[in-house]
Structure 1
Amino acid sequence: MQRMSPKKIFLLIAVLVAVVVAVQWFRGGGRTSAKTPAAPATVPIKVADAHRGDLDLTLKVIGRAEAYSTVNVQARVSGQLQALMFTPGGHVKQGETIIRIDPSLLQAQLDQALGNLAKDEAQLQNAQTILKRYEPLLGKGYVAQSDYDTYKANEGVYAASVKADKAAVELARTQLSYAQIQAPFDSIAGAPLVYPGAQVTGNDTDIVVLNQIRPIHITFSVPETGLAGIKSAMDRGAVPVSGTIPGTKEAPFQAQLDFINNAVDTTTSTIQLKARYENSDDKLTPGQFVEVVLPTTRLANVVTVPVVALQNSPLGSFVFVLNADNTVQQRIVTAGPSSGSQIVIEKGLNGNERVVTDGQLLLVDGAHVRIVTGNG
């Protein structure tokens, strides 16, 4: 192969340099002035205020809805079940008649008691009339004392019989009233346990179960270690309890703690609590799972920031603090307990700072930033 001479190599290099210079000339529009240095890029962030104040620590547990009260309805008299006057699974009002027992036998017993009363009242009236007639004759000696005493005793016997008959009438009337059973409170009726035509035995046969769900209880257990904080919260007033139904996106509903059991379960080291929820919208059904959040210990005069503001590094936890000139400072902090979306900062913040809550991944100490709102 023939080797290129040094002169040809030099010419080839010169041509290439000329081409590169021409390309740069055309791309730059023929300008030879120096470029102006670019301004520092700003990072979009979201911020939140650090707060100083009291914070209630919370405890999150799983509980179940429980009927405020439950009644197994039984007949107070024996007889044939005549009618069920409620809709299974439907609401019943307090005092509303929901069950009827065949009243025929009970009505007959009442009629018999009324007849006995009428008969004895007539005999009493007759004895009183005779006694009144013989009283003036006794003083004149026309009636023997023994006969008068007999009439007097008869009056007492008939008077006692009338009292007994009146009691029997009241008993029969009361028994007849038991043939109609009223709901003891506003509730929801379950499925019938017996049906019309069946023979029921007084104070023995269960007919239907009524559950009171307005209000309703939420029953849950907490570790005994949290009991002192809960009692302290109750000493300050009503303790709010927040509840949510797992698997739904509904907003939490508010209940109120109204029961602490009188003993700790030694097998689980937990204690049972109950919260009252009005349940006017029938949100909860007995047996349903509920996520419960309730306050335990109150921390006084602490600094808190949103949990999302806290970041971690090999040097420890830190937050980015917004400066007045729209730069950020990376500040090492000591984090404490958290409650919901807030976390306590034990050291590193005074409570009057603004901290970055979104955009930290693009930040370094001293970076320039701009605040955005919403999804911007």
Structure 2
Amino acid sequence: MAYVFPIHQSKPGVYMPRNHHPHRLTPTQKKNGLRPVAGFLLLAFLSLALPGCGDKEAKTTRPPAPVETGQAVAKDTPVALKAVGNVKASNSVTVKSRVDGHILRIHFLDGDNVTAGQLLYTIDPETYIYTQQGAQANVAGDRATAEHAQKDYLRYKDLFDQSVISRDEYESKLTAYETARKAMEADAAQVGIASRNVKFTQITSPINGMAGSTLLDEGNLVAADKDELVVINTLAPADVQFSVPGYELPRIRAEFVDNHLPVLATPASSGAKPSEGVLTFVDNWVNPDTGMINLKARFPNDDTALWPGQFVTIDLILSVQKDAVRIPAQAVQRGPNGKYVFVVEDGKARMQPVTTGMRLDDEVVIDTGLKAGEIVVVEGALRLYPDAPVAIKKGPGSKPEANANATKGQENS
């Protein structure tokens, strides 16, 4: 039975029992008050004793932590420089007209693959045909004049040889003949120009490649060497331009001199496979503003996986590290003493310090600390501690099964 002690009140008007003292208990109060004090002490003792027993029992019966594991494997691993590159057509031509005129016909569709020499546009040739015919007529008249002047020259030459005419008369006929001949040659050149202009009304593709969208439609007036008609890009092969830090230049030059350095280009799209090419160009200066140096690689691109203007991830492979130990990158943990992994041995997780090398996609190279074949924890490391029992998950959705040694330890406890 709980006992409530009376509170001493000194305010006037409040009734106080006679011979009452706030700090003194009556014999009845003392008798009744021993029971709650003893109960309180008993509860305090139990509260101190029971948690210790509970912790010991919880510690010995703690279930194994479910984890997913991976195996350290030895693979030949490329030593590569990472960069971001931009795809460019190996050859790109912007087609323009070399003569003025209206577009009579377009002979291709947007996006067609075209070949060198294929007809693309026809410009109205009428004006240039007339010009050609006029130049040909001038040549015919000049030829007749030159032939007549030649006859006069030859006749006067015979007379001059016979001393019948003066030298001035002979030289005047010679001059007339030379003038007529040169005039005929000049008009013949005009015929060539006119013929060329007629030919230029048939606009053909200068390269093999893919045509873009035509920029002017049929009926439009084209200005010579001004208006753009279509852009043609050569997609196979394709070039990729990228930049790397300038301090990597000695490593690149050391390998580039003797070897064709392989380059992998991976588009940003999901599941894309890398395209293989070779390094073809190293710029002759390092940009002092950025500290970067420009490089270029060429790819066969027969499958047209690389598209002009596309951004890709570049791996410039400098060498290959033989039998490098690799594990999933998420298995590596970081602690106050550096990086470590949990190695699973005999159903328990052992902390193992490691030093890491370069990272390749979802894997990382372990320089020291692991050997090929060891099993490391990939998921579930947050629940682990040194020598913690673990249960390896068999697959997604399956229940973890504890290792036999871990189960045996639970039964003994």
TM-score (norm 1): 0.70
- Residue 81 in 1 paired to residue 103 in 2? yes
Distance 1:287 1:313, change over 3 A: closer
Query: 1:83: how far off?
Result: 1.9
Match of 1:185, SS?
Answer: coil
Q: 1:124 to 1:361 in 2, by over 3 A?
A: same
- Partner Cα separation in structure 1 for residue 72 and residue 367 of structure 2: 18
**1:6 — aligned with what?**
none
1:34 is matched with which residue? none
Match of residue 179, structure 2, among 157, 160, 163: 157
Question: Quick one: which amino acid aligns to residue 165 of structure 1?
Answer: D
Question: 1:208 is paired with a residue of what secondary structure?
Answer: strand
SS at match of 1:87: coil
* Corresponding pairs, count: 323
Partner of 2:374: 355
The question of whether the paired residues in 2 share the 8 Å contact of 1:302 and 1:345 is answered with no
Verify: 1:317 aligned to 2:305, yes or no: no
Alpha-carbon distance between aligned partners in 2 of 1:46 and 1:302, rounded to the nearest angstrom? 17
- 2:253 corresponds to 1:234: no
Change (3 A) 1:132 1:360: closer
Map of 1:39 onto structure 2 = none
**1:144 Cα deviation from its structure 2 partner:** 5.0
Deviations 1:99-145 (A, max 9, x none): 22111111111111111111111111122223333443444455454
Answer whether contact 2:104 2:123 (CA < 8 A) is retained. yes
Aligned to 1:62: 84
* AA matched with 2:297: A
State how far apart, in whole Å, the 1-side matches of 2:130 and 2:158 are: 44
Q: Structure 1 residue aligned with 2:119, among 74, 92, 97?
A: 97
**Residue of structure 2 in register with 1:247 after alignment:** 269
Identity of paired residues, percent? 26
CA distance in 1, matches of 2:184, 2:197: 20
- TM-score of the superposition, structure 2-length normalised? 0.64
Using the alignment, how far apart are the partners of 2:240 and 2:196 within structure 1? 39
| Cα deviation, residue 331, structure 1 | 9.1
CA offsets 1:244-289 (integer angstroms, 9 cap, x no match): 2223213222122223334444444333333222222222222223
Q: 1:150 to 1:45 in 2, by over 3 A?
A: closer
Contact 2:121–2:204 (CA under 8 A) maintained in structure 1: yes
Letter aligned with residue 340 of structure 2 = S
| 5+ long unaligned stretches in structure 1 | 1-43
Q: 1:338 aligns to what?
A: 358
Q: Could you tell me whether the CA contact under 8 Å between 2:265 and 2:312 is conserved in 1?
A: yes
| Alignment partners' CA distance in 2, 1:45 and 1:345 | 16
Q: In the alignment, does 2:240 pair up with 1:218?
A: yes
Assess, with a 3 A threshold, how the Cα gap between structure 1 residues 72 and 346 changes in structure 2: closer, same or farther. Answer: closer
Residue 289 of structure 1 pairs with residue 311 of structure 2: yes
**Counterpart position of 1:121:** 143
CA RMSD, 1 decimal: 4.0
Q: Which amino acid aligns with 2:139?
A: L
Aligned-pair distance for 1:66? 2.1
Instruction: Give the match for residue 304 of structure 1.
Output: 325
Cα separation, 2, equivalents of 1:283 and 1:303: 30
Deviations 1:317-363 (A, max 9, x none): 358599xxx999979564231242665544456x7x54336899899
Question: How does 1:130-279 map onto structure 2 within 5 Å?
Answer: 130-140=152-162, 142-279=164-301
Point out the structure with max Rg over C-alpha: 2
Could you tell me which amino acid in structure 1 is paired with residue 145 of structure 2? Q
Task: Tell me the SS of whatever aligns to 2:257.
Answer: helix
Q: Which has the higher contact order (CA 8 A, sep 6+)?
A: 1
- Measure how far apart 1:218 and its partner are: 2.1
Shift of 1:214: 2.0
SS in 1 for 2:186: helix
Alpha-carbon contact 1:259-1:273 (below 8 Å) kept: yes
Instruction: List gaps (5 residues or longer) in structure 2.
Output: 1-67, 395-413
Deviation of the 1:93 alpha carbon: 0.9
Secondary structure of the 2:268 match is coil
Cα drift, residue 313 of structure 1: 8.7
1:91 maps to amino acid: N
Greater CA drift, 178-187 or 245-254: 245-254
Indicate if the aligned counterparts of 1:187 and 1:212 stay in contact, CA closer than 8 A. Answer: yes
Q: Secondary structure at the match of 1:279?
A: coil
Cα 1:125/1:293, change in 2 over 3 Å: same
SS in structure 2 of the partner of residue 220 of structure 1? strand
> In the alignment, residue 335 of structure 1 is paired with which amino acid?
T
